[in-house]
Structure 1
Amino acid sequence: MSGAFPGPGDDPFPGTGAKRVASWRIRANSADPVRDLDAVHRLGGRFVVPGDIEWPRQLDDLGDTRPLGLWVRGPADLRTWALRSVALVGARACTPYGAHTATDLATGLARQGWVVVSGAAYGIDGAAHRGALAAGGATVAVLACGVDTAYPRGHQQLIDRIAEQGLVVGELPPGSHPTPSRFILRNRLIAALTRGTVVIEARHRSGSLVTARVAARLGRHTMGVPGPVTSGLSAGVHELLRGEATLVSDADEVVELVGAMGQLAPTRRGPVLPRDLLAPAARQVLEAVPAGGPTPATVIARRAGTAPDDTLARLYELHSLGFVQRHGEGWRLTNTATLTSNARRGGT
Structure 2
Amino acid sequence: MTMFGLKESEVATLVRAVSVGGGEDFDRDAIEERFARATWSGLAEPGDRLAGRAIQQLGAVRALTAVVEHWDPERFAATLSADGDAVGDDDMAQAIDRWMPRLKSNTALIALRQAARFGARLLTPDDTLWPSRLNDLDWHAPSALWVRGTDEALAGIERGIALVGARAATGYGEHITMEASAGLVDRGYTIVSGAAYGIDGMAHRAALASHGLTVAFLAGGVDRFYPSGHDALLGRIVENGVVISELPCGSPPTKWRFLQRNRLIAAASMATVVLEAGWRSGSLNTAGHAATLGRPLGAVPGPVTSAASAGCHRLIRDYDAVCVTNPDQMAELAPLEHALLTIDEVAGAEQSAASSSAGSDSSSPRDTDAVRLLDALSARSARSADDVAARSGLAISTVRAQLGLLELDGRVTETERGWKRVASERSRRA
User: What TM-score, normalized to structure 1?
Assistant: 0.71
CA displacement 1:98-119 (0-9 Å, x = unmatched): 1111111111111222110100
Contact between 1:216 and 1:244, CA under 8 Å: does it hold in 2? no
For 1:31 and 1:57, locate their aligned partners in 2 and report how far apart those are by CA, in whole Å: 30
Contact 1:57 1:79 in 2 (8 A): no
The 1:134–1:217 alpha-carbon spacing in structure 2 relative to 1, beyond 3 Å, is same
Q: Which amino acid aligns with 2:120?
A: G
Residue 257 of structure 1 is matched in structure 2 by: 333
Tell me how far 1:261 sits from its aligned partner.
Answer: 6.2
C-alpha RMSD of matched pairs (Å): 2.2
Moved over 6 A (4+): none
2:260 to 181, 185, 189: 185
The answer on 1:206 being equivalent to 2:281 is: yes
Paired residue type of 1:37: L
* Structure 2 unpaired stretches of 5+: 1-66, 81-86, 339-430
Q: Output one character per residue of 1:159-218: Cα deviation in whole Å (capped at 9) or x when no partner.
A: 111011100000100011111100010000000000000001112232211111211221
CA shift in 2, pair 1:245/1:22, >3 Å: same
Aligned to 1:96: 171
- SS class of match (1:187): helix
CA distance in 2, matches of 1:19, 1:55: 31
Q: Secondary structure at the match of 1:29?
A: coil
User: What is the rounded CA distance, in whole Å, between the counterparts of 1:167 and 1:73 in structure 2?
Assistant: 6
Report how far residue 5 of structure 1 moved: 3.2
- 2:323 alignment partner AA: L
Structure 2 residue corresponding to 1:175, chosen from 241, 247, 250: 250
Check the 8 A contact 1:85/1:117 in 2, yes or no: yes
1:173 and 1:4 mapped to 2: Cα distance? 27
Matching residue of 1:35: 110
For 1:6, which of 50, 74, 83 is the aligned residue? 74
Partners of 1:146 and 1:175 within 8 A in 2: yes
Residues 287-320 of structure 1 deviation map (CA, whole Å, 9 limit, x = unaligned): xxxxxxxxxxxxxxxxxxxxxxxxxxxxxxxxxx
Q: How many aligned positions are there?
A: 262
1:257-276 paired onto structure 2 within 5 Å: 257-260=333-336
Report the counterpart of residue 324 of structure 2 in structure 1: 248
Contact 2:298 2:333 in 1 (8 A): no
- What is the match of residue 67 of structure 1? 142
Structure showing greater radius of gyration is: 1
Confirm or deny: 8 A CA contact 1:55 1:78 kept in the other structure.
Answer: no
Moved more, 201-210 or 238-247: 201-210
Letter in 2 for 1:35: I
Structure 2 partner of 1:322: none
Q: State the secondary structure of the residue aligned to 2:178.
A: helix
1:260-283 Cα shifts (integer Å, max 9, x gaps): 469xxxxxxxxxxxxxxxxxxxxx
If the length of structure 2 is used for normalisation, what is the TM-score?
0.58
Long gaps (5+) in structure 1: 263-348
Q: State the alpha-carbon separation in 2 of the partners of residues 229 and 30 from structure 1.
A: 56
